[in-house]
Amino acid sequence: MDLFSTLIDTKANLLPKDGIVNYYGRVLLPQQANEYFQNLLQNIQWKNDEAIIYGKHILTKRKVAWYGDKPFEYTYSKVTKQALPWTSELLALKALAEEKSSEQFNSCLLNLYHNGDEGMAWHSDAEKDLKKDGAIASLSFGAERKFAFKHKQSKETVSLLLENGSLLVMKGTTQTHWLHRLPPTKLVNKARVNLTFRMIV
Ligand SMILES: O=C(O)CCC(=O)C(=O)O
Ligand SMILES: [Fe+2]
């Protein structure tokens, strides 16, 4: 049992209906989290994300990377990416996410937000390549950022802070009924790295 697990009820569902979101809080000690953060900044093959929006080819400020068990192809915003082979640190973090969540993952999408100007707009992760209603485990490193959910019909919202070294799991029908986003903020001027472990089919 880790140091913080007594403080956070990991069985509590943060959503009032139509999906399950569990926040496990910090699953790494601050020093371990900082070491992973530095390692990820250095050793991941970060690239500006490409997208085609209204027929225009654009590059995002946020950087991304895509790793997996096999050279999976993954398409979103009309651009296809191919997964790179796991690094040893990513494999260790995948094992941690799997152990804590009791779920299995075969790929990981990584995001690097250089500061609070960069975020991610409302979306759900329900691309056809993803296992339907499969769990998504999200590990956060570096700057603490707010994360929010919005119900697609009722528009009700739920938000929380994602701490350095923390784990969030979204599962059940969350992606069908809820959007989520990482809002931009003027209050943060440090970088954050996020890893979302997924199951591609
Ligand atoms: O940065 C985050 O915490 C979330 C990223 C996200 O929603 C995604 O990669 O689909
Ligand atoms: Fe997402």
Instruction: List the residue whose alpha carbon is closest to atom 10 of ligand 1.
Output: 125
Yes or no: say if 90 and 67 are a contact pair by the CB < 8 Å rule. Answer: yes
Whether residue 13 is contained in a domain is answered as: no
Yes or no: say if 128 and 183 are a contact pair by the CB < 8 Å rule. Answer: no
Residue 35's φ and ψ, nearest 5 degrees, are: -65, -45
Domain span at residue 104 reads 20-198
**pLDDT for residue 87:** 96
Yes or no: say if 170 and 130 are a contact pair by the CB < 8 Å rule. Answer: no
If one residue of 40, 105, 180, 185 were mutated to test the ligand 1 pocket, choosing by the most ligand atoms within 8 A of its CB, it would be 180
Residue 14's φ and ψ, nearest 5 degrees, are: -75, -20
Cα of 170 from ligand 1 centre, angstroms: 11
Taking only the tens place, the pLDDT of each residue in 66-86 is 999 988 888 766 778 889 999
**pLDDT for residue 159:** 97
pLDDT at 171 over 70: yes
Instruction: List the residue whose alpha carbon is closest to atom 8 of ligand 1.
Output: 196
The β-bridge relationship of strands 84-85 and 56-68 is parallel
Cα of 180 from ligand 2 centre, angstroms: 6
Mean pLDDT of the chain: 92
Ordered DSSP codes for 104-127: --SEEEEEEE-STT--EEEE----
Query: ipTM > 0.85?
Result: yes
Cα of 111 from ligand 1 centre, angstroms: 7
Task: Tell how far CA 148 is from the center of its chain.
Answer: 12
If one residue of 196, 197, 200 were mutated to test the ligand 1 pocket, choosing by the most ligand atoms within 8 A of its CB, it would be 196
pLDDT at 107 over 60: yes
Number of domains in the chain: 1
As for ligand 1, residues whose beta carbon falls within 6 Å of it are 109, 111, 120, 125, 138, 147, 162, 180, 182, 194, 196
Whether residue 153 is contained in a domain is answered as: yes
Alpha carbon distance 62, 46 (integer Å): 9
pLDDT at 10 over 80: no
3-state DSSP assignment of residue 138: strand
Q: Is 1 exposed, middle or buried (0-12, 13-18, 19+ CB in 10 A)?
A: exposed
Whether residue 12 is contained in a domain is answered as: no
CATH number of domain containing 61: 2.60.120.590
Whether residue 168 is contained in a domain is answered as: yes
Whether residue 93 is contained in a domain is answered as: yes
Yes or no: say if 25 and 166 are a contact pair by the CB < 8 Å rule. Answer: yes
